[in-house]
Amino acid sequence: MVAAISLRIPMILRLKLDFLNSFNNSGWFNATDFLVRIKDKRLLLVGDSMNRNQFESLLCLLCEGLPDKSKMYEVHGYKITKGRGFYIFKFMDFNCTIEYVRSHFLVREGTRINGQGNSNPTLSIDKIDKTAKRWKQADILVFNTGHWWTHGKTSRGKNYYKKGDYVYPKFDAVEAYRKALKTWGEWIDKNLDPERQLVFYRAYSSAHFRGGDWDSGGSCNGETEPILSGTFLDNYPIKMKIVEEVIQHMKVPVILLNVTRLTNFRKDGHPSVYGKMRIKGMKVSTRKQDCSHWCLPGVPDAWNELIYATLVYQQSAAMNQVH
């Protein structure tokens, strides 16, 4: 969990985060009511580490609705780490689970043997991810992908993208993303039941690196205020236009949690140099910074509040139809 308050973050930020935490607990988000609404259900988040960030946020929020915190536990005894890609947290009193499955691309990662006998990674943009068998069992699903669709993460498109048995010598990442999202949409339409299952797609979350990227010296330390004006606030990635296009043509209704512009503002919300626990007095290095994930409590709490608002609205609308 990226819990900024516990990481010796500067006092001015700590006070702001404490205020945000008190706002989240002010009453309109009711953790107990959320748990009642998902009683006997499985809520599954599927995606990259940004969805793990949201998963951790949801666990923290819902834990506040439990008088006895021991009634929430990971069924295999796992602790949340970057290395593990599957978790199931059980809430005993409500017979519900909050689960996470790692799937960087939502389509199938694989390997191929090149001419030198070495193993190289591939991505089959026409095949759904191997974890999809777990998706079918969930009642509420929250998907995301996007942050791994950069040239650095995808071998710059050379001998990486695959369709059937054919590996493209060179293929554009944006077009690959489009084809992969269509594969995901077709799988949803074929395998999920809109009468029983509720599907969300959580939109691309903005990063705020200065002077580079995550792997090239980018930074965001020292940011204490949101962006309130400027062209960055109008940023809307082509990936999001593709997501909207795919969802519009799907048979199964997908609720788009469009948090992209919301996150554009929050350059002050990332762990930056405070993403790891440090012993008191240890010097904080600014060489490698996290300006894409989010502190908790923080921005992902708002994404989960949108899910809660959707549950309240849909269940209220259903009751009104009955009457």
What gap in Å lies between CA 323 and CA 317, rounded to an integer? Answer: 10
Sign of the four-CA dihedral 153, 157, 160, 162: positive
Class of residue 252 by CB neighbours under 10 A (exposed 0-12, middle 13-18, buried 19+): middle
288 residue type, one letter: K
Has residue 245 been placed in a domain? no
Residue of 48, 129, 268, 290 marked active site? 290
Total domains, the chain: 1
Has residue 188 been placed in a domain? no
Task: Quote the domain boundaries for residue 5.
Answer: 1-102+205-226+266-323
The verdict on whether 290 is a catalytic residue reads yes
Has residue 97 been placed in a domain? yes
Has residue 254 been placed in a domain? no
How many whole angstroms from its chain centre is CA 124? 22
Segment 164-177, tens digit of pLDDT: 999 999 999 999 99
Has residue 55 been placed in a domain? yes
Has residue 283 been placed in a domain? yes
Segment 214-252, tens digit of pLDDT: 677 788 998 889 999 999 898 899 999 999 999 999 999
Beta-strand ranges (E) seen in 144-270 are 161-163, 166-167, 198-202, 254-257
Segment 30-69, tens digit of pLDDT: 999 999 999 999 999 999 999 999 999 999 999 999 999 9
For residue 6, the model assigns a pLDDT of: 37
Residue of 49, 93, 139, 155 marked active site? 49
The verdict on whether 49 is a catalytic residue reads yes
Has residue 107 been placed in a domain? no
Segment 124-180, tens digit of pLDDT: 999 999 999 999 999 999 999 998 998 777 878 999 999 999 999 999 999 999 999
Has residue 172 been placed in a domain? no
pTM equals: 0.88
The verdict on whether 147 is a catalytic residue reads no
Residue of 219, 270, 293, 301 marked active site? 293
